[in-house]
Structure 1
C-alpha cells in the first residue's frame, strides 16, 4: 500500500477516544514488525494533544519493549506528569493487544533565550542532483529481493536522497558514517507540532543500520534481526520537515548483539535543528536463513 504524505499526516494525527487516551491506525512498511518511527511520531502526537500551554517539544526519551503488529491499531495513554512555569512533562505508553509496546517521557518548554553554539554541518553535496533511495535501488533491477521491491512504494511520503549509498548487494566494510537528505514529499500544515512529530517518524530511518557499515553485512539478509531498543530525540530550534534536511549519522560502537548510533539534522542554512541517539538489537539468526 502506497503511503502518501497526506496519509502519513493522517496516520500521525490520532483519534481521541477518552481523556488522555488516543488510538492510532497502523501502516505496514513491509518490515518484520511495526515500524518504530510510527510509534515515535504517534506517541509525540498524543502528548502534544494534552498540552494547554504554548510550549514546544524539546526532547523525548523512550524504550521499545515489544515488537508491534502493523495489522492492528495502537492505543496511546498519556499521563500529565507536570506543568511547571517553563516546562511540561508527559509520560506516553503505547499499547497493543493489551501489552505495552513503548514507554517514553516527552518534555516541552516555553520559548526563551540563552547561550548558543552548535557543531558545524558536514561538508557534503546538496540534494539537488542526487537520486532518491528508490531510484538508486531501482537501478539494481531484478537483483533486488522481491520483498524489498514490494515495500518501496510505501516510503513515498518522505523523500530520501542518500550521499554515497552502500550497495546492499555487495556490502564492503566502510566507516560507520552516512548522510541522507530528506524532506516530506509535499507541503505540511503550518503547525510546528506536526513538523516535529513527522521528523520523529523519519528519525528511525537507517539509524541503527549505520552500525552495520564496518561489517560485510546487508540489510537485505534474511537471517539478520534488527530492532530498536531505545530512542532519544532532542529539538534545538523550529524545524520545517517539508524542506530539505541533512541527516548525518554515525555509529561509535557495536557489540554484544547491540549497536549504538547517533544522528544530527541540519537545515540547508547549516543550522542544527535536532539530534538523535538510539541503541538497537543486531543479530544474525541462523534459524532464519
Structure 2
C-alpha cells in the first residue's frame, strides 16, 4: 500500500527488469503535454545503477531530451555496460517509448577515494521554516484553479519553499535578475538506499532549474507566455546526501538567446556543504509561434 508522496516517488522509480540490461518504467497517465523530464532522468539513472555492483556511487550524468514522452505509456530503458574499470564504471542508457528513442543518458560511477577539498560558500538565505510553502502561496494568489493544481501535481512528492517571494505583475518583474532559489525535501521518508536518494534528487532537479531563465520575463506560476522544454541535463554529485532532508537549490541563468536559455544550479544541505552541481539548457518559444 502506498501511503505518502515519498512512497509514490519510490514506487515510480522502482523499475521492472524485463531482460538482462533492459528495464521498464511506468509513466503516470497525467493530463499534461509531455512526461516530466525529471521522471525520465531519474528512472534512467535507476536503470544504470541497477547494472553496477552498488559499491560505486554515481558522480556525474549527462543527458539529452530527444522527444517528448507520452503520459500513460510505459518507457523501456536499455542499458549498455560501457566500462567497468578499476576506479570508474560507465553506463549508457537509451529510453524508448513506442519504438522511438525519447532520451539518452550517460552516467559515471566512481569508487570513493581520499583527496583535497574546497568549495564556494552557500549564500545566506532564510531557513525553510521561515518561508511559506509553495502550495499556500499559490492558493493565496490563484485560488483552487485547475491549471495551477495540475502543474503542482508534478511537485507533490516534494515540499517547495521559494527563498524570494513570488512575483505576479509586470511591475514586480521589472529589473529582476535571472536568479532563483528554493528549499526542497521529499514529503516522507525515502528509505536508506543511496541510489533512491540520488535518483529522487535527479527527479527534483528538473522541477525548478529553468525558473532562473523565466524570472525576469514572466510570473513563475501564472499563465505561461512561453512553451518551455528541457533540452539537456547534466549533474555532478559531490557528496552523499538524503533527498528527504532539506536542501537548498540555488539557480541562476548566465544567458538566454536564440529561444534557448541556460541555467546552472548548486544544491546545498543545511550545513552549507555543496552536494550537487547542475546545468541545463531549455527551449523557450512564445505560445502560438
TM-score band w.r.t. shorter chain = over 0.9
| Other-structure match for 1:41 | 42
Question: In the TM superposition, what are the counterparts of 1:20-169 in structure 2 within 5 Å?
Answer: 20-28=21-29, 31-52=32-53, 54-142=55-143, 145-168=145-168
Alpha carbons 1:40, 1:200 under 8 Å: kept: yes
1:277 maps to 2:279: yes
Which deviates further from its counterpart, 11-20 or 27-36?
27-36
Structure 1, unpaired ranges of 5+: none
CA shift digits 1:7-30 (9 cap, x unpaired): 110100110000000000112565
Worse-superposed segment, 31-40 or 59-68: 31-40
Task: Compute the TM-score of the two structures, normalised by the length of structure 1.
Answer: 0.93
SS of the residue corresponding to residue 265 of structure 1 reads strand
Q: How many residues align?
A: 285
Structure 2, unaligned stretches of length 5 or more? Answer: none
TM-score (normalizing by structure 2): 0.93
CA contact (8 A) 1:3 1:155 kept: no
Mean Cα deviation higher: 257-266 or 173-182: 173-182
CA distance in 2, matches of 1:240, 1:119: 21
Give the root-mean-square deviation of aligned CA atoms. Answer: 1.9
1:166 to partner: Cα distance? 2.5
Q: Deviations over 1:86-133 (max 9, x none)?
A: 000000101111111111100000110112111110100010121111
Runs of 4+ in 1 over 6 A off after TM superposition: none
State whether residues 138 and 148 of structure 2, in contact with CA within 8 Å, keep that contact through their aligned partners in structure 1.
Answer: no
In the aligned structure 2, how far is the partner of 1:163 from the partner of 1:53? 36
Query: SS at 1:197's partner residue?
Result: helix
Residues 1:3 and 1:259: Cα distance change in structure 2 (over 3 Å): farther
Contact 2:166/2:219 (8 A) holds in 1:
no
Distance in 1 (CA, whole Å) between partners of 2:138 and 2:128 is: 17
- Contact 1:60/1:232 (<8 A) preserved: yes
